[in-house]
Amino acid sequence: MIRKRTRTRAGGGTPAHGRLRAVLGATTTALLTVTALAALPQTTAHAAGTLGAAAAEKGRYFGAAVAANHLGEAQYAATLNREFSSVTPENEMKWDAVEPNRGSFSFSRADQIVNHARSQGMDVRGHTLVWHSQLPGWVSGLGASDLRSAMNNHITQVMTHYKGEIHSWDVVNEAFQDGGSGARRSSPFQDKLGNGFIEEAFRTARATDPAAKLCYNDYNTDGVNAKSNAVYDMVKDFKSRGVPIDCVGFQSHFNPNSPVPSDYRANLQRFADLGVDVQITELDIEGSGQAQATNYGNVVRACLAVTRCTGITVWGIPDKYSWRSSGTPLLFDDNYNKKPAYDAALSALGGTTDPDDPDDPDDPGTPGAGCTATYTTAEQWGSGYNGKVTITAGSSPITGWSVDVTMTSPQKVLSVWNGSPTWDSSGNVMTVRPSWNGSLAAGASTSFGFTVSGGASPPPQVGACTAS
């Protein structure tokens, strides 16, 4: 089972925000002791420097879709941890991932994401319980009465496993057809159970985890059109009959053929006016440069203009891992540099990049102070793997480095080469320093390796590189 929630970022308590508070505290104390300065208001002008912290100051979350197999990549984890206050498992909670065979549930990859999120104080969006896609063949083969009980059992089992851990669930995903018909999409659920399957799924979900917000989620519903009208009518009907629904997710996958609609804000608002929260759930906008940045800024401003728009999730972190990577639709480039789109989103949230933030990869910082650590799995076998961490000096030479590598029990490190490890008391965290390879010229790299037994997954968590 998953550890229960111990703290939350709701209301602005991101780690980044915590750092900001610490800085403000120190600044405030210094100013108070130098009374002649009388410059206290300056401290309040210090805007949040990350997406999560800036969104929190507006009472909202800023999330990312996350894939479990990237969590071991140091820059991926560092960017996620620094910038985002919510995660959505990109594929790991879908039906084919968690119940590949009837009644046989497999939560390990989804748990990896939830555990990571919880350890960072992030919220989790559950995605998704009932969807026609990524649906195992055994479900499509069932007759109506079996399908009904399989659907309700799936919802109950998955939501029970994550009870208390999920802030919002996409209970039903993409149940309406594209185009002008406003009809329901053909699917095993629609075809065998009829329109009532959506209502039944929401009722089962509410009975299982009454604390989770229950959302209907879809795409091409971002502006006012026949499809969004059909969803609107369904939500209105649910609200009038007391069918439990709390939120509507607008996926917001935009590209030149499907641009940000001019009535985006108005559409979000009309749903909010029905008495549900609205969330931007899978945002990505193909493009580059200033045009892309302007679109991102407009989407963020639309959410902020709607009181019940409670948060935004982007569908991935760096462009290279996007489902539409060729369209470079995300906020970070392949090397995790912030794009103009990032700056536009942050600035629309009221934040600004802190010029002195040492965690900011765009901040040149103190010359010579830096190094980065990048993890890859070099070999893998049934019960273990060889890991490799590459250390690269920043723009100036370094004479030493250190990196924390954390294994998941019962995994154990059997040997380390090209690095000297020391261990914490749990035996799970090793701090690796150079053996012979501490001195690196500016931009030069070295690597160390290690053999792990006790499980081929999950990969280790590799912390930030500290240079000396």
List contacts with ligand 9MR (CB under 6 A).
90-91, 133-134, 219, 251, 282, 323
Burial class (CB in 10 A: 0-12, 13-18, 19+), 409: exposed
Which of 57, 165, 200, 282 is flagged as catalytic?
282
CA 36 to chain centre: 45
Beta bridge partners of 279: 249, 311
Question: Taking a C-beta distance cutoff of 8 angstroms, is the pair 387, 445 a contact?
Answer: no
* Cβ at position 433, least distance to ligand 9MR in Å: 38
* Cβ at position 251, least distance to ligand 9MR in Å: 5
* Cβ at position 282, least distance to ligand 9MR in Å: 5
* Cβ at position 187, least distance to ligand 9MR in Å: 14
Q: Within 14-143, where are the H helices?
A: 15-33, 41-44, 51-57, 74-83, 95-98, 108-119, 137-140
Q: Which two tokens stand for residue 127?
A: 């995605």
Which of 73, 99, 174, 286 is flagged as catalytic?
174
Question: Taking a C-beta distance cutoff of 8 angstroms, is the pair 63, 84 a contact?
Answer: yes
Nearest Cα to Cα of residue 215 among 196, 201, 229: 201
What gap in Å lies between CA 318 and CA 110, rounded to an integer? Answer: 20
Nearer residue to ligand 9MR within complex by CB, 12 or 89: 89
165 is catalytic: no
* Cβ at position 151, least distance to ligand 9MR in Å: 18
Nearer residue to ligand 9MR within complex by CB, 282 or 343: 282
Q: Which two tokens stand for residue 416?
A: 């380390």
Cα three-residue angle 295-87-17, rounded to 5 degrees = 80
- Cβ neighbors of 167 (< 8 A, separation 6 or more) are 61, 86, 123, 124, 125, 212, 213
Nearer residue to ligand 9MR within complex by CB, 134 or 422: 134
174 is catalytic: yes
Nearer residue to ligand 9MR within complex by CB, 165 or 218: 218
Cα three-residue angle 4-458-107, rounded to 5 degrees = 50
Tell me the residue nearest to ligand 9MR as measured from the CB: 323
Question: Taking a C-beta distance cutoff of 8 angstroms, is the pair 290, 340 a contact?
Answer: yes
Nearer residue to ligand 9MR within complex by CB, 8 or 133: 133
β-pairing, 401-406 vs 466-467, is antiparallel
Nearer residue to ligand 9MR within complex by CB, 85 or 251: 251
Q: Catalytic residue numbers?
A: 174, 282
